[in-house]
Amino acid sequence: GESVGLHLPTLSVQEGDNSIINCAYSNSASDYFIWYKQESGKGPQFIIDIRSNMDKRQGQRVTVLLNKTVKHLSLQIAATQPGDSAVYFCAEKASGTYKYIFGTGTRLKVLA
Amino acid sequence: DSGVTQTPKHLITATGQRVTLRCSPRSGDLSVYWYQQSLDQGLQFLIQYYNGEERAKGNILERFSAQQFPDLHSELNLSSLELGDSALYFCASTREGDNEQFFGPGTRLTVL
């Protein structure tokens, strides 16, 4: 069954190419950011996080970039694979709070 | 498998009814978060509990309530259900001092 709705922005990428998924966050006081992957019928799964004292963090095949000046976050996936097809969410949290605010999500479709 | 369990997986009920959704966090996790995911929206934070106490409140309706029990499992109670309450409901848990949330598989609620 589907996890999210039909009105998400969609990014279609050829298998093997790099993907870049963008997110604009809302709160200038946010100091912690996370990217989640949600496959159909499953709960969100943590991919990578970054704190506001950094502007770049790398994981396995993934890189998160943070631009605090324009309140922008991006997720780069290298050598995109069919298993990367999912909905990707960014989330933000402000220091001293326990509330996570999620973005609306982007659907990534990997074309064979 | 995140280690977070949710029951039931699916729930179909009628308007005006009341339901209870259950969540068991990962072993050792003291915090439980509840989220609602509707078709036309992203993940909306509802409420957070830490070791039995309410810690943060989000966009939770007055018809909804939650609690966390001494064994750390949590229940989300939804009453006077409306058609618009149809959604996926996720819980997530975190460890003390850790920001990474682990999500359960969700409960899909359908209100007819």
- Structure confidence at residue A7 (pLDDT): 67
Average pLDDT on B19-43 reads 92
Whether A104 shows a pLDDT value over 80: the answer reads yes
- Structure confidence at residue A2 (pLDDT): 36
Q: What confidence tens digit (pLDDT) does each residue in A8-43 have?
A: 899 999 999 999 999 999 899 999 999 999 998 889
The C-alpha atoms of residue A63 and residue A45 are separated, in whole angstroms, by: 16
Pick A99's closest partner by Cβ from B56, B99, B100: B56
The more confidently predicted of residues A98 and B83 is: B83
DSSP reduced 3-state for A62: strand
Average pLDDT on B73-88 reads 97
pLDDT confidence of A3, banded at 50, 70, 90?
very low
User: Is B43 in contact with A44 (Cβ distance < 8 A)?
Assistant: yes
DSSP reduced 3-state for B42: coil
User: Is B39 in contact with A99 (Cβ distance < 8 A)?
Assistant: no
Average pLDDT on B62-72 reads 97
Q: What are phi and psi of A6, to 5 degrees?
A: -95, -5
Distance from CA of A17 to the nearest CA of B (A): 27
Q: HSE-up of B7 (CA within 13 Å, CB side)?
A: 2
Whether B52 shows a pLDDT value over 80: the answer reads yes
Distance from CA of B104 to the nearest CA of A (A): 6
- Structure confidence at residue B96 (pLDDT): 84
Q: What does the mean pLDDT of chain B come to? A: 94
